A and B are shown apart, each in its own frame.
Chain A
């Protein structure tokens, strides 16, 4: 099929930021379609600026285009101005690479890292010209696949997707390609048979091959079971994990966009997985075990990537980059490589402004700050730390084992080295949180400013507050999320506590959006109808503050006769069948439950990279070991070895599961949850 560019081009002068839609990036592939190749349209359901830097999408884009039996192009959510132009002119969703219609692709594959974009997924399927519900699609419609972290509870999207892929995509996209290729070659008939075949691929979950049963409304309407319809369909779907990151040095040709995007720099992933064991963190739980990229490969990928893109900045990404065994030699090596590669002036000195190394997700300790100082010779404007909770007690609950001395040491070191602004991330609404925990956030920030004032009168600390949303496959998956009112009350507490604190700024995320995120993150299939209603009511781009509208969600809940309270704010018990119980990230459910109980008992666990195994189930289950270059913990801070878990214990707070009035999934029905 041909390019739609001649029809799209006249629309672009009518929309904001038209460079979002032109493609032409450095690193872009000019794919050749046809010849029975399986055509993948890799979709990111948010704006180009947010989606382009996504590494998962870039990796699969390259791996698929290297195959002889596949082509891959990309698409991002059109902003409402372009969407209305497309609908006005009858044009479909299109790829940004060669501006082909989405209808020309066999697979529409969404990368989903968060839940608020779900309505955009429906909108993009609709713009692609396919029926939004998977049961209405026929042999000529694309297969809709979802992957990414949100795929670990795909149930709210079960009615709209054909396939969810759990875990890492590098290998499984090839297996899917081969099966779809054979289906195309045989004449594209019997879509259901193909789905049944795909459902047997490890890591692939086909919702339509499973039957869901619920209790009667009178009995509370809980989920009873999710069971396969056929004997050849697995009763539990396990995630995919690549054993050795060194085998996958992607992206080899990183995409450098023509317009500014959110992470406008090169990214090189240094390891996957994290065993810090922060109990609120879904990413840390579902990406185990730890697999480090060989240090030499990191250096090569950085050098090659910078040369190809012309970027002057690189991010070494992971869930906790200071934990990379060879972080110091890699950082020094990268700086030396760039110094050697720079053009020379007549005096033989390197020309240019050097290379900035960005270390996101830093630990909170002085070692880390030293590292940050080493890589950041120029600007020292701001540095970010994430203590997550205000008191040591609450940090043992969430297993973010930072003692106050670590934080103050890090902050002192940062101000000493010339930084003037700190940003501290905290969550509110964590399990067992009391007002004393919340208010301690303000005290921590004030103490940090006091430290900073010794070094600069400009010292300031910004507290950034997020409302905690429990996620599937974490020890906190049983916890009832705080209500919007409770979030707001806690924010008000902090506003009062910081109002007169000079140098302390407070920022917070919209509490209402957290409620919607909570519904979608732990919802079952019945929530799909809610998402569909929100989309029908025009609720796209819900992750964008100016577009978010909680009333759309509460109205949809009411219309479906469902209880928001039951889905978002209710504590779950150990015997409840969770909507994702038939899906696994390799973590034993009793490990998660025991860790939840340990949390309530304020008992922390150390990082299993350097201490004995807790048998979470991942390494043993997959026969994959942690791949770390060093058998000893990295330097610095009590988060490494030497933490003293006995410190600071206060009166324990117990969390009990209580019956909530009328808190049943189906609002208005009789009976209660006990």
Chain B
């Protein structure tokens, strides 16, 4: 049985890095004796795989993990104690929201997810600036930002990475849907480009969705129970 879980990462645990998060999951699953499959070989590792890394310091209500169970073992996904048990073994702020069987014909999280939605807030990201900033960037053919990676400074056109921008329904946060193909655009990089002069370190970042594209239809990887997720629902653009 192959599982996919959706979980949240909110509050103090937002400062736990992606790498440490993986270690936390291994410990949590061992605490509840979850029948996780292990790799063969000299140093067996649990078969867990994570999706797009969340930047350290960002929060999320849409994180995903794929877990392979030992062949021949299945668990009752309708049993609420399964979700609760794992959530209790995870630190405060990390809670499992959905657990589902994974279609083995589909790809990994890394290959399936084509875009992610973020909410940005903080000093300098003021309500009256949201709409104009979104319009200006969306109307432009290119958006040049200077980025540094591996010690090299270079100017990139990040406009193709931006799918949509706009205020959230409350009009206080900046919502961005960003493509994940190629060299990803960090939410903090976008914030600085959209609101020049801000200190990107002060920007609070929340990931709200991870989207897949199948036959032209865009869907949340796993939608929350009782919630109908319509793409672009919160975007005014």
Interface residues of A (CB under 8 A from B): 5, 10, 12-14, 18-19, 21-26, 256, 258-260, 307-312, 341-347, 351-353, 378-379
Contacts and interface: CB of A to CB of B under 8 A. Distances in A.
B56 to A, nearest CB: 7
Interface string B30-50: 110111111000111110000
Contacts of A18: 15, 56-57
Contacts of B45: 353
B33 A342 contact: yes
A258 B201 contact: no
Given A22-B12, A310-B28, A352-B46, 6 more contacts: A14-B201, A309-B27, A309-B31, A311-B30, A345-B71, A345-B72
A259 B27 contact: no
Q: Which of A14, A307, A342, A345 neighbours the largest number of chain B CB atoms within 10 Å of its CB?
A: A345
Contacts of A19: 15-17, 20, 56
A351 B20 contact: no
Interface in B43-70: 43-46, 56-57, 70
A347 B105 CA distance: 26
Contacts of A308: 31
B93 interface: yes
13 contacts: A18-B15, A22-B13, A22-B16, A24-B93, A259-B17, A259-B20, A342-B33, A343-B70, A344-B35, A347-B72, A351-B37, A351-B70, A352-B30
A260 B23 contact: yes
Contacts of A312: 26, 30
Contacts of A309: 27, 31
Interface of B: 12-13, 15-17, 20, 23-24, 26-31, 33-38, 42-46, 56-57, 70-73, 89, 91-93, 201-202
Contacts of B44: 352-353, 378
B30 A258 contact: no
B12 A310 contact: no
A114 to B, nearest CB: 27
A342 B30 CA distance: 9
Q: Which label, helix, strand, loop or mixed, suits the secondary structure of the A interface?
A: loop
Contacts of B89: 310
Contacts of A5: 12
A378 B38 contact: no
Contacts of B26: 310, 312
B140 to A, nearest CB: 29
Given A14-B201, A19-B15, A258-B13, A307 B31 contact: yes
A256 B35 contact: no
Given A12-B57, A351-B36, A260 B20 contact: yes
B16 A258 contact: yes
Pairs A-B, 6 closest by C-beta atoms: A310-B27, A346-B72, A310-B31, A18-B15, A353-B44, A310-B30
Given A22-B13, A259-B17, A343 B31 contact: no
A455 to B, nearest CB: 18
A343 B33 contact: yes
Contacts of A22: 12-13, 15-16
A346 B74 CA distance: 10
Nearest to A347: B72
A342 B36 CA distance: 11
A24 B35 CA distance: 26
Contacts of A13: 57, 201-202
A10 B43 CA distance: 40
A353 B17 CA distance: 25
A390 B56 CA distance: 48
A82 to B, nearest CB: 12
Given A258-B20, A310-B27, A24 B12 contact: yes
B32 to A, nearest CB: 8
Contacts of A351: 35-38, 70, 73
Contacts of B15: 12, 18-19, 21-22
A311 B56 CA distance: 24
A24 B56 contact: no
A345 B27 contact: no
B36 to A, nearest CB: 7
Contacts of A14: 201
Nearest to B33: A343
B73 A346 contact: yes
Contacts of B46: 352-353
Contacts of A311: 27, 30
Nearest to A11: B201
Given A258-B91, A260-B20, A352-B38, A24 B33 contact: no
B24 A258 contact: yes
A564 B10 CA distance: 53
Contacts of A345: 35, 70-73
Contacts of A379: 42-43
Nearest to A5: B12
Contact of B91 (A24, A307, A346): A24
A379 B17 CA distance: 27
A562 B198 CA distance: 52
Contacts of B13: 22, 24, 258
Nearest to B90: A26
Q: Which of B16, B26, B28 neighbours the largest number of chain A CB atoms within 10 Å of its CB?
A: B16
A600 B71 CA distance: 66
Nearest to A24: B91
Contacts of B30: 310-312, 352
A233 B146 CA distance: 69
A18 B38 CA distance: 31
Nearest to B202: A10
Nearest to A99: B12
Contacts of A259: 16-17, 20
B20 A353 contact: no
A12 to B, nearest CB: 6
A13 B177 CA distance: 23
B153 to A, nearest CB: 22
Contacts of B27: 26, 256, 309-311
A373 to B, nearest CB: 15
A343 B34 contact: yes
B154 to A, nearest CB: 24
Contacts of A378: 42-44
A24 B73 CA distance: 32
Given A259-B17, A260-B23, A351-B70, A343 B35 contact: yes
